[in-house]
Amino acid sequence: MSQPYTPESLYKSEYKVLFTFFIAKKQNKQEAEDLCGQTFLQMVNDWDKRQFEEASPFWLRSIAKNVLNNKVRSDQTSKRAAEVVDIFSLEIADSDFDPDNHIDQQRQNQALDLCIEQLPPQMNAAIKFRYMRDSSVEETASGMNIRPGTVKSTINHAMAKLKECMQRTSGGRP
């Protein structure tokens, strides 16, 4: 039987996994680091409160999930408070606006978002850093703590998966 986990052993074995998970979800290195810190702080605070649950990577990952859910709820509350929009100031800038084309574009964007979310965490993070945040390969590598060559390879594999997913969701159309 293996030795029981300690806070230090969980930190050493799970930090990179949790950091990659948080990067994939929040697309922000600083937020990912903060969420990792909150997760490990919560782990230490709850260490002696575990009654029936053995300390394990699974237990730590459930703490991470709860920390992320709390952050998302907090962000949503802040966003709702800031979303006071003056409806009369809204204008359609393009006089050639085509509602049907707009709806098709929205559907394609939703399908792409769904496909991106289905990618493995490292591919998800690489795509979001590189294209959604418009980061260079070097910036993406730095943000994910991996080599630039690994970023290029990961993005290449992710793009192939996205192409397959988009073809499935669009009924075979590229």
Q: How far is CA 46 from the centre of its chain?
A: 25
Closest CA to 15 of 33, 42, 31: 33
Q: How far is CA 22 from CA 3, 101, 108, 132, in A?
A: 28, 35, 26, 16
Structure pTM? 0.46
**Which of 9-18, 67-76, 128-137 reaches the highest mean pLDDT?**
9-18
**Which of 46-50, 128-132, 158-162 reaches the highest mean pLDDT?**
158-162
Helix axes 7-26, 29-46, angle to 10 degrees: 140
Domains and CATH numbers, the chain: 7-82 (1.10.1740), 100-169 (1.10.10.10)
Task: Check residue 78 and report its DSSP letter.
Answer: H
